Structure 1
Amino acid sequence: MVFFRSIGTLAFTIPLLLRYKIPFLGTHKKLLFLRGLAGVISLTCFFESLNYLAVGTAVSLRYTSPIFAAIFAMFFLKEKIKPIQWFLFLIAFIGILIIKGFGINVNSIGLLYVLSSAIALGVIFVVIRKIGDREHPLVIINYFMVMAFLFGGIMSINYWVTPTVSQWFLLLSLGVFGYIGQLYMTKAFQLNETNVVAPLKYLEVIVTIIIGIFWFKEEYNMYAILGVFLILFGLIYNLYVKAKQKKDLKKNNLI
């Protein structure tokens, strides 16, 4: 799955890099390599978690990545976390505990995989923040996809089973939908303020839960829904706190 996820996206990134004559290797190779490595780990762990968890539960738990990103940023980027943000992170973490303790069929191995994916995703956020606008977005995405292609290809050699026609379509669509999602998410953040766009991304959780119920016949009890709500509440309100803090700094001419 990691292998085919990369192929679908590379089909877009490589032609665009060639067309606009953008250097493939970039200038911050160590940071780009770290971003790619963390991306491969996050993607692999997430796909693995889907073997143990309902898709909506896995996506919800993966959205705890901003908590880990904030902690990493505090140590490596010297960013401060306000007490209210720690409280909101605690609410989100309580949501995880409720899902684990009272949700339906929440496997411990799956939980470990999806939290590992979230931690690696937190690393990605910090590395991209560190890179800033010094690298073209296509270069950053391409590093990730090339490393995913190599890792997925090598690791799948001993497990290769030739897909059917319908499976070829599904596997290749992973990269296509992944690229389209990244492209329009980036455009959305470019066209509007972060505090307006970012909360809308959490609609993904609701959509995947609905898909899980109707397509995969997954079941969610009230405790699982409560856990998802607490995670979303803690993270979305944290976005509001950060946006308000940034607005106050601008108002006082501090940034």
Structure 2
Amino acid sequence: MANIDNGMTTHSHQSWLGTIQIITAAICWGTLGIFSTYLNQIGFSGWQVTILRIVTAAFIILAMLPTLWPHLIKLQPKQWLGLAMQSLIGVLGMSVCYFFAVSYVGAGPAVALLYTAPVFSLLFSKFLLSESITRKSVLLALMAVFGVGLTMLGEQAKVNWGILLGLSAGMCYSLYGVLGKRAMHYAHPAPLVFFTSIIISAGVLLLLPETYNTYEQLLDLPLMTWGYVLGLSLLGTVVPFGLYMKALEKLPATRASVFTIFEPLTAIALAMLLLHQSLSWIQYLGVALILLAALLNAVLNGTATRVPRWLKQRQRA
């Protein structure tokens, strides 16, 4: 009996530790919009912010290469192709769209639009994976769409490129998971998925002259600017994913996804406190509907389906 009690106590402790880790990761992800806004104000475009985030993060995680090398050399060409699509669409594409959206509509609305990803996941899963669409999923999708409509109202959120880019970011983010499910037929280690997602996109960016021009521009700026870049790549990318991976060792993926709701809440709160970006009450209602749809999608789908082990290796670049 004592052994059972000890086992339950240990499990409870691990569960609480995993919860703290996932909430901390979500809060870290929520800082992305703040760092990107500061870099926009200094003179970097959304494209340049994407370069600084992904390439700097790639140099940081090169320390993982010796550990992951045995797994990398075993990958088949088809698996490399699947991982490359994940990286270029789900990481590079999402980052470009998201950071441009931040520059157009602000950090709060941009992260809310990013959370329309479950809506796109329904469509892509239907056509790419032949998965059925339930009435419950349709209702949640309509709730999110209605919320997007409300965020477009008001003086600061007219229908413009920012709205379209925010929706595109959500679409790219949803494709990250769908393409991964289609491409990977067995469980890849979570560090391998993270490593290839960043490294492949960084490799493509290093082929572009704009990447070197961006870092040349950075060299002429004050040390504080380097702090923003480090925050973007380390605090907003590498650290939260590391915490998320550790949390998945202690929590089911579906439960972990519920706590990522702290990401948009953090982004909106920081935008109000640090950037003084306020929304109208009807826009806050729209944001709330989008976040509620994402939360219900995680909770209800978590109780209805058993998530495959490899799908737990979810990543936020």
**Normalising to structure 2: TM-score of the pair?**
0.72
Question: How far apart are the structure 1 equivalents of 2:203 and 2:58?
Answer: 12
Residues 1:8 and 1:132: Cα distance change in structure 2 (over 3 Å): farther
Partner residue of 2:187? Answer: 134
Tell whether 2:67 aligns with 1:19.
yes
Q: Which of 67, 78, 102 in structure 2 is aligned with 1:50?
A: 102
Match of 2:54 in 1: 6
Task: Decide which moves more: 79-88 or 133-142.
Answer: 133-142
CA distance in structure 2 between the aligned counterparts of 1:67 and 1:182, rounded to whole angstroms:
23
Match of 2:211 in 1: 156
Contact 2:100 2:165 in 1 (8 A): yes
| Aligned position for 2:245 | 186
Question: What does residue 41 of structure 1 align with?
Answer: 93
- Given the superposition, is the C-alpha separation of residues 184 and 158 from structure 1 closer, same or farther in structure 2, using an over 3 Å criterion? closer
Q: Is the 8 A contact 1:68 1:119 kept in 2?
A: yes
Check whether the contact 2:68–2:192 (CA below 8 A) recurs between aligned residues: no
1:78 to 105, 112, 130: 130
Contact kept in structure 1, 2:124 and 2:175, CA below 8 Å: yes
- 2:231 corresponds in structure 1 to 173
Alpha-carbon distance, 1:54 to partner: 1.6
Q: Give the deviation of 1:20 after TM superposition.
A: 4.9
Shift of 1:107: 5.4
2:23 aligns with none
Amino acid at match of 2:294: L
Alignment match, 1:246 = 305
Which stretch has the larger CA shift, 54-63 or 22-31?
22-31
Cα distance in structure 1, aligned partners of 2:129 and 2:249 = 23
Q: In structure 1, what is the equivalent of residue 12 of structure 2?
A: none
Aligned partner of residue 156 in structure 1, secondary structure: helix
Give the fraction of aligned pairs with identical amino acids, expressed as a percent: 18
| Aligned position for 2:147 | 95
- Aligned residue pairs total 247
Structure 1 counterpart SS, 2:64: helix
Matched with 1:253 is none
Distance 1:46 1:20, change over 3 A: closer
Shift of 1:85: 1.1
List alignment gaps of at least 5 residues for structure 1: 248-255
1:196-207 to structure 2, matched below 5 A, reads 196-207=255-266
Q: Is the 8 A contact 1:49 1:58 kept in 2?
A: yes
State which drifts further: 204-213 or 191-200: 191-200
1:18 shift after superposition: 0.8
Give me the whole-angstrom Cα distance separating, in 2, the residues matched to 1:226 and 1:111.
16
Q: Is the 1:199–1:236 Cα contact (8 Å) retained in structure 2?
A: yes
Query: Contact 1:99–1:227 (CA<8 Å) still a contact in 2?
Result: yes
Task: Tell me the secondary structure at the aligned position of residue 232 of structure 2.
Answer: helix
Structure 2: 5+ residue runs without aligned partners? 1-48, 307-317
| Contact kept in structure 2, 1:2 and 1:44, CA below 8 Å | yes
Shift of 1:53: 1.2
Return closer, same or farther for 1:107/1:72 CA change in 2, 3 Å cut-off.
same
Letter matched to residue 302 of structure 2: A
Query: Equivalent residue for 1:113?
Result: 165
Label 1:95 to 1:64 Cα distance change in 2 as closer, same or farther (>3 A): same
RMSD: 2.1
**Cα distance in structure 1, aligned partners of 2:245 and 2:189:** 12
Q: 8 Å contact 1:40–1:147 — kept in the other structure?
A: no
**1:152-199: CA deviations, max 9, x gaps?**
442334555233211112112221111111111222233112332212
Taking the aligned partners of 1:59 and 1:82, their CA distance within structure 2 comes to 26
2:5 maps to what in 1?
none
- Classify the secondary structure of the residue corresponding to 1:90: helix
Compute the displacement of 1:225 (Å). Answer: 0.8
- With normalisation by structure 1, the TM-score equals 0.88
2:269 pairs, out of 196, 210, 217, with 210
